[in-house]
């Protein structure tokens, strides 16, 4: 989701990845720069969508617009809180450093974010990232789930299967777009059998055509692309 970390971190690390493509910077140095930048200036979303009855080991793999695949997984549970990781399982050569990082959130069963970290998968070191407040990059508000009494005209087909959508979730969020903080909306087509619920995203950003901002996910359900 654009409220998932994948989208909110892009504004913070895009310039660093551009530097990497134009200069001789090792992944080790670039990783250190990304961690420092995020810990000092970054924000993680204050809310993410999560499925009912979450369990350790639940996961889904989502395909982004650029072709990269991001895996969301519940790593652990401590009392009423869950640690969710987001990490790339593939990436372009210029962004290969992302394969060595995980972006983790501590959330409650309703998806309200308590803490956020960027984790170095090689060393295990983690840096705490501030959670977005009102009007900041990544801040989510006015979340609403709408039940469509009549199913959408067509089902959504993903590598994990075909899903007939009867619910969608809409919310507002803040995101850096070309260096400017803008307020947008996002619609998530959701399904109760899918881990993290999202089957497809549709973002509405000022100045952007909605169709170009559709993201089709390799979301899964038990026995499909996710955990059993």
The CB density around residue 28, as the number of other CB atoms within 10 Å, is: 12
- Helix, strand or coil for residue 166? coil
Instruction: Find out whether 115 and 128 touch, Cβ atoms under 8 Å.
Output: yes
Looking at every residue in the chain, the average pLDDT score rounds to 80
pLDDT tens-digit series, residues 71-80: 999 999 999 9
Distances (CA, A) of 11 to 15, 41, 176: 8, 11, 6
Do the strands 43-44 and 126-131 form a parallel or antiparallel pair, or are they unpaired?
A: parallel
Average pLDDT of 33-52? 91
**Residues 100-103: contacts with CB within 8 Å, 24+ apart?**
100/27, 100/31, 101/31, 101/34, 101/35, 103/5, 103/6, 103/9, 103/44, 103/129
- Helix, strand or coil for residue 15? helix
**What phi, psi does 97 have (nearest 5°)?**
-60, -25
Residue 224 in domain: no
Number of structural domains (the chain) is 1
pLDDT at 226: 38
Q: Maximum CA pair distance of the chain?
A: 56
Predicted confidence band of residue 225 (pLDDT cuts 50, 70, 90):
very low
Residue 130 in domain: yes
Measured distance CA(188)–CA(166) in Å, rounded? 11
Residue 227 in domain: no
Residue 228 in domain: no
Domain that holds residue 152: 5-216
pLDDT tens-digit series, residues 146-193: 887 666 656 888 888 888 888 888 888 888 776 788 888 888 888 888
Beta-bridge partner residues of 202:
187, 214
pLDDT tens-digit series, residues 107-146: 999 999 999 999 999 999 999 999 999 989 889 999 988 8
Residue 222 in domain: no
Measured distance CA(210)–CA(186) in Å, rounded? 10
Residue 144 in domain: yes
* pLDDT over 70, % of the chain: 75
**What phi, psi does 79 have (nearest 5°)?**
65, -130
- Comparing 203 with 89, the larger pLDDT belongs to 89
């Amino acid at each position: 989701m654009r409220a998932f970390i994948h989208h909110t971190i892009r504004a913070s690390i895009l310039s660093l990845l551009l530097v990497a493509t134009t200069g001789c910077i090792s992944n080790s140095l670039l990783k250190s720069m990304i961690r420092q930048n995020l810990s000092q200036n970054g924000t993680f979303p204050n809310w993410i969508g999560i499925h009912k009855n979450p369990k350790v080991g639940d996961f889904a793999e989502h395909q982004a617009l650029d072709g990269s695949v991001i895996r969301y997984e519940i790593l652990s549970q401590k009392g009423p809180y869950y640690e969710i990781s987001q990490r790339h399982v593939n990436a372009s050569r210029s962004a290969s450093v992302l394969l060595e990082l995980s972006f983790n959130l501590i959330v409650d069963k309703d998806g309200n974010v308590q803490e956020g970290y960027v984790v170095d998968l090689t060393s295990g070191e983690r840096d705490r990232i501030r959670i977005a407040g009102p009007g900041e990059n990544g801040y989510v508000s006015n979340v609403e789930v709408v039940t469509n009494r009549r199913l959408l005209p067509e089902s959504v087909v993903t590598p994990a299967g075909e899903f007939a959508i009867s619910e969608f979730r809409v919310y507002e969020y803040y995101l850096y777009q070309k260096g400017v903080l803008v307020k947008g909306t996002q619609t998530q087509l959701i399904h109760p059998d899918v881990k993290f619920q999202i089957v497809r995203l549709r973002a509405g950003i000022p100045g952007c055509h909605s169709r170009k901002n559709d993201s089709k996910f390799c979301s899964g359900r038990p026995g499909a692309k996710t955990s059993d």
